[in-house]
Structures are given as C-alpha cells and as structure tokens.
Structure 1
Amino acid sequence: MTAIDRFRYDGKRALVVGGATGMGAAAAKTAAELGAEVVAMDYAPVRYDVAHAINVDLRDPASINSAIDQIGGPVHAVFSAAGVADGPDLMRINFIGHRHLIKRLLDNNLLSSGSAICLISSVAGMGWENDLPRLLEFLATPDYAAAQDWVSAHEADGIIHYGFSKKAINAYVATQAYPLLKKGIRINAICPGPTDTPLAQANADLWLTFAQDYRDETGSKVHTPEQMGDAMAFLNSAAAFGISGITMLVDYGHTMSSLTGAYPPGKPIIDLIMGRAPLP
C-alpha cells in the first residue's frame, strides 16, 4: 500500500451519522472523494448524492436499530457527527444515541478488524478528566434506557448540559480505545474550534465569537466544516493506523498556546479546562 493509498477509502463503506449538514456532510463528501461508498444517516433529509441515505432518530433506540438493519453490509469507518446545542433530547442526540448505534454495529459484527470510529466533541468538553468519576459512573450504564434514566436522575444537579455531553464523548473515547483495539477497531474524536455550521450559526453570539481575539491576532478565520471533515477522514483512514483513544484539537493552536502562556489572553479557555469556569 502506497502512502497515498493509506489516506484513501477505496473499497470501504463509510457510515456518517448526522450527514445531512455541517461537519457530517463535509466528512461524507471528503470520504466519497477519497473513494468511499457513503451511507448517510440523519433525521433531516440528505440533499446531496450518497450511495444510501437512511432516516434515523437518535432519540429512539428502535429507530437506530432499524437504521442499522438497512446498512446492508460491513462498515469500515464511522463518522458520528449528529448533535444539538440544548433541549430535553440533548444527551440522547449528542451521546446516548451514538453509543447505542456503535454498540449495535458491534453486536451485529458490522465493524471488523481494521475499521475506525470518529466522533465530534467540542472545546466545551475539555477538562473532562476533572470530572472522571462521575463520567465513569454515567458510562457504566449498560444500555440506552439506563443511560437516559441516569440523566433524568441528575438533571436537577445542573450537570446535564452541552458541555457534559461532550465530556461524555471524550471519556467514552478514552475508555473504549483498549477494548475496541482488542477487536482491531480504533476510536477517536475531534475537538473543533469555532466552526461555521448551521448549529453554530444558531448560537452565533456565543459559539462563533469564542476565541475571536486569538483569530484576530493570528490572522485566522472561523473554521469551515471541510476542515473538520478532513480531520475526521484522516483519523478514520489507514494513515492514522497508530492513533486511538484521543480527542484531537482542531483549533489553530488556540488551546495549547493558551495553556502554555504563549498566548496570555487565553485564560478563559484554561479556566474551562481546569473546571474553573461554567460550560455553555
């Protein structure tokens, strides 16, 4: 296999969950350009060419099960991209549904050795290590219903929000790297900086203004969905064969520059990482 071949997806089926718009659509299009047969799942209609479009409602495990039954063969790369900013279904859409879908793929032997999974986290999920005991308690829930029951039991505590859903993704990736690699499967996530997606546009005052001072100083712009789709395609490719269990920052270096003091005004994100600031 040549170096170029390791980046390509020829002969592979890519499943993109949340593929109708935003980063999911960008990942789907990148994977297709690299040779993949793309299966796109979403609650919204998929309005571009894919090999197969499947309706799925991550709020409903029966819908997820039905969608898995329609895939029609093995999956070599999973792009878990669906998400919402808030609302009563936040945890089901942002994490519980994705975990259930991955478990169903595994139970149905649709993910073979050599396959890979990439989820989308967020800067809002950084500092998850500071909340590890509670996250491990949540991740220990054995199924969809138990996870939702745990969420319902903790809603009054004020911990169930967008940031917690992304912390759960980070902790899930970290804890699943070992058991999945024993099956030959890799799992990672990306942690995007502010990215111009429909979801971000709906929360523009908060999401698209974050780190604007850093972008002004460095001459960079708000990220595009394509930048995130490309990063996900890399992590799910054979070129990233040695990478598993990580959440990869795609933020122009804002976080690391702030953490090291190379960019002193970056204190707000450090407070976020250290758990000294509330998450959106």
Structure 2
Amino acid sequence: MSAIDKFRYDGRRVLVVGGATGMGAAAAHLVKDLGAEVTVMDNAPVDYATDRVVPMDLRDPDSIDAAVDALAGPVHAVFAAAGIADGPDMMRANFIGHRHLLERLLAAGKLPRGAAICFISSVAGMGWENNLPVVLEFLDTPDYAAAHAWVQERESTGAMHYGFSKQAINAYVATRAYRLLEKGIRINAICPGPTDTPLARANADSWLTFAQDYRDATGAALHVPEQMGNAMVFLNSAAASGVSGITLIVDSGHAMSSLTGAYAPGKPLMDIITGRVPLG
C-alpha cells in the first residue's frame, strides 16, 4: 500500500451515524470522495447523494436493531457522529444509542478485523478521568435499558448534562480500546472545540462564543465541519493504524494553552471543565 493509499477508502464500506448535517455530513462527503461506499443512518432527512440512507433513531433500541439488521456487512469504518445538546433524550442520542449500535454490529459479526470506529465527543468531555468512578459505573450498565434507567435515576440531580455524555464517550473509547484491538478493531474520538454546525448555531450564545477571546488573540477562525471531518477520516484510515483509545482535541490549541496557563485568560474556565476546580 502506497503512502497516499493509506489515506484512501477504496473498497471500504463506511457507516456514518448522524450524517444528515454537520460534522457527520462532512465526514460522509470526504470518505465518498476517497473511494468509500457510504451508508448514512439518521433520524433526519439526508438531502445529499450517498450510496444508501437507512432511517434510524438512536432514542429507540428497536429502531437501532432494525437498522443494523438491514445493513449489509462488512462495515470497515464507523463514524458515530449523532448528538443533541440537552433534554430528556440527550444521553440516549449522545451515547447509549451509539453504544447499543456498536455492540449490535459486533454481535452480528459486521465489524471485521481492520475496522475502525470514531466518535464525535467534545472539549466539554475533558476531565473524564477526574470523574472516573461515576463514569465507569455508568459504563458498567449491561444494556440499553439498564443505561437509560441509570440515567433516569440521576436526572433530577443535574449530573446528566451534555459534558457527562461526552465524558462517557471518552471513557468508553479508553476502556474499550484493548478488548476491541483483540478483535483487530480500533476505536478513537475527536473532541471538537466550537464548530459552525446547525447544532452549534441553535446554541450559539453558549457554544459559538466559547473561546472567542482565544480566537481574537490568535487570529484563529471558528472551526468548520470539514476540519472535524478531516480529523475523523484520518483516525479511521489505514494511515492511523497505530492509533487507538485516544481522544483527539481539535480546537486550535485552546484547551492545552489554557490548562497550562500559556493562555492565562482561559485557564479558570478550563480548570472547571476538566474538574481541576469544582464548579462553585
């Protein structure tokens, strides 16, 4: 395989979960251009040309099961891109449904050796290591119903927020890497900073203003979905064959500059996000 071929997807079947818009759509377009056969699963309409669209609702395990049953194998790369900002369905849409889908793909033998998985997490999920006992308790739930019940028991505490859903993704990637690699499968995630997507625009006051001071200071532009698609497509490509179990921060250096104090104005908020300093 040539150096260029390692970045391509010729002959590979790709599944994009949540590919109707935003980062998922960007990844779908890019892998298609790189030679992949692309299936998009989403609860929203997909208004661009792709090889196949399978309607699927991550909030409904029966819908997930039906979608997996309808999917021809093998699947060589999965992009777990769907997510919502808040509400009672958030944990199911952001993590529980994705986990169920992946476990169903594995059980059906549709993820062969050499396959790769990439989640979209978030900078908001940083600091999961500082919340590890709680996150691991959640990950220990054996199935969709148990995970949903675990969340429902804690919703009144305010602990089931967007950041926790992304902490769950980051910890899942870290804890599943070993067992999946035994099957020859890699798993990673990206942690985007503020990115101009439909979801971000719907929450613009909090999402798109985050790190604006850093962007002003450095001249960095607000991220666009294609930048996140590039990172995801790299992680699921043969060019990243040695990479697994990592959460790649894609934010023009804001998080690390802030945590280290190299960018001092960002440190207080980043310390709170990562759990170094308790909120309040």
CA-CA distance at 1:22 after TM superposition: 0.4
State the match for 1:272 in structure 2: 273
State the match for 1:262 in structure 2: 262
CA-CA distance at 1:224 after TM superposition: 0.3
- 1:126-166: per-residue Cα shift (whole Å, max 9, x none)? 11111100111100001000000101111122210111100
CA RMSD of aligned residues (A): 1.1
One-letter code aligned to 1:12? R
**C-alpha separation between the residues in 1 aligned to 2:4 and 2:273?**
38
- In structure 2, relative to structure 1, the CA distance for the partners of 1:84 and 1:70 (3 Å cut) is same
State the match for 2:100 in structure 1: 100
One-letter code aligned to 2:39? V
CA-CA distance at 1:277 after TM superposition: 5.3
**C-alpha separation between the residues in 2 aligned to 1:160 and 1:264?**
29
State the match for 1:8 in structure 2: 8
State the match for 1:193 in structure 2: 193
- 1:206 equivalent to 2:180? Answer no
**C-alpha separation between the residues in 2 aligned to 1:230 and 1:71?**
25
3-state SS, counterpart of residue 10 of structure 1:
coil
3-state SS, counterpart of residue 118 of structure 1:
strand
State the match for 1:20 in structure 2: 20
TM-score (norm 1): 0.98
3-state SS, counterpart of residue 168 of structure 2:
helix
**C-alpha separation between the residues in 1 aligned to 2:84 and 2:177?**
25
CA-CA distance at 1:52 after TM superposition: 0.4
**C-alpha separation between the residues in 2 aligned to 1:58 and 1:18?**
9
**C-alpha separation between the residues in 2 aligned to 1:107 and 1:171?**
21
Larger displacement relative to structure 2 (148-157 or 56-65): 148-157
- 1:74-111: per-residue Cα shift (whole Å, max 9, x none)? 10000000000001100000000000000000000000
State the match for 1:133 in structure 2: 133
One-letter code aligned to 1:273? T
One-letter code aligned to 2:190? I
CA-CA distance at 1:275 after TM superposition: 4.4
**C-alpha separation between the residues in 2 aligned to 1:205 and 1:88?**
21
State the match for 1:175 in structure 2: 175
State the match for 1:227 in structure 2: 227
Larger displacement relative to structure 2 (156-165 or 222-231): 156-165
TM-score (norm 2): 0.98
**C-alpha separation between the residues in 2 aligned to 1:234 and 1:94?**
22
Aligned length: 279
In structure 1, list runs of 5 or more residues that go unmatched: none
- 1:185-210: per-residue Cα shift (whole Å, max 9, x none)? 00000000100000000000000000
Identity %: 69
**C-alpha separation between the residues in 2 aligned to 1:164 and 1:278?**
14
Pairing of 1:237-252 with structure 2 (within 5 A): 237-252=237-252
